[in-house]
Amino acid sequence: MADPERRLALAYAPAPARPALETLWLIDERMGAIVAAAREPAIGAMRLVWWRDALAALDMREAPAEPLLARVAATLLTTGVSGAALSALEEGWSALLDSEMPDEEMMRLHASRGAVLFTLAARALGADAEDIAAAGEGWALADLGHRISDHDAGPQARRMAAERLATVNPHRWPRALRALGLLTLLATRDAGAIERHQGSPARVLRGAFYGLTGL
């Protein structure tokens, strides 16, 4: 897993749920890597569609000889997360490849990827919170706001993130969701920052404090 803060958050998930949560994040990272590497948007979109269809097909047949799909079948489907539900991540990532889509519409579609990710993660963790989808949307928008280079779109994504995260309170969430709460807490900081430094000592310490205490 490439994201250092998701690796940190994983340590605060209940041990039995960690394989499922890590697999979920690996699927998300795989789609993100496809978008990042896409020199031709049409080719990137085709690769995303392949993953969407392959994930949905896991509900109907055994996993093919692809290691990550086999891992999904072994660790995620057994928690009640379906392949069809996982395949919904594709729409949020595909939005970033559509150059004709207005910025705000693209951002809202990409935010849906975060809502899907956090909702399915909560299911795998065996807990829930009424604002979990909003947290996922805000997390995805804050992340996007620090990844896109457009001088107008980046701040816009961060403003949208701040609006969504203003309605979220991870301090009220059950302990089982602490991994997601940690990411939400850091995303709230990112929404109001011009720069972020993932994996910095201050962020790691803040995340670890929340992970241990819920505060």
| Distance from C-alpha of 93 to C-alpha of 55, rounded to nearest angstrom | 15
Q: CB of 25 within 8 A of CB of 183?
A: no
- List phi, psi (to 5°) of 66: -130, 120
| Distance from C-alpha of 160 to C-alpha of 158, rounded to nearest angstrom | 5
Which residues are CB-neighbours of 166 under 8 A, at least 6 positions away?
none
CA nearest 72: which of 116, 26, 12, 33? 26
Say yes or no to pLDDT of 150 above 70: no
pLDDT digits (tens, 9 = 90+) for 43-81: 999 999 999 999 999 999 888 889 999 999 999 999 999
Which residues are CB-neighbours of 117 under 8 A, at least 6 positions away?
24, 25, 28, 89, 136, 140
Rounded to an integer, the average pLDDT of 83-101 is 91
Q: State pTM to two decimals.
A: 0.94
pLDDT score at 62: 87
pLDDT digits (tens, 9 = 90+) for 165-181: 999 999 999 999 999 99
Say yes or no to pLDDT of 133 above 80: yes
Q: What are the sequence ranges of the domains in the chain?
A: 4-213
E strand or H helix that includes residue 28: helix 18-37
| Distance from C-alpha of 50 to C-alpha of 18, rounded to nearest angstrom | 26
Say yes or no to pLDDT of 2 above 80: no
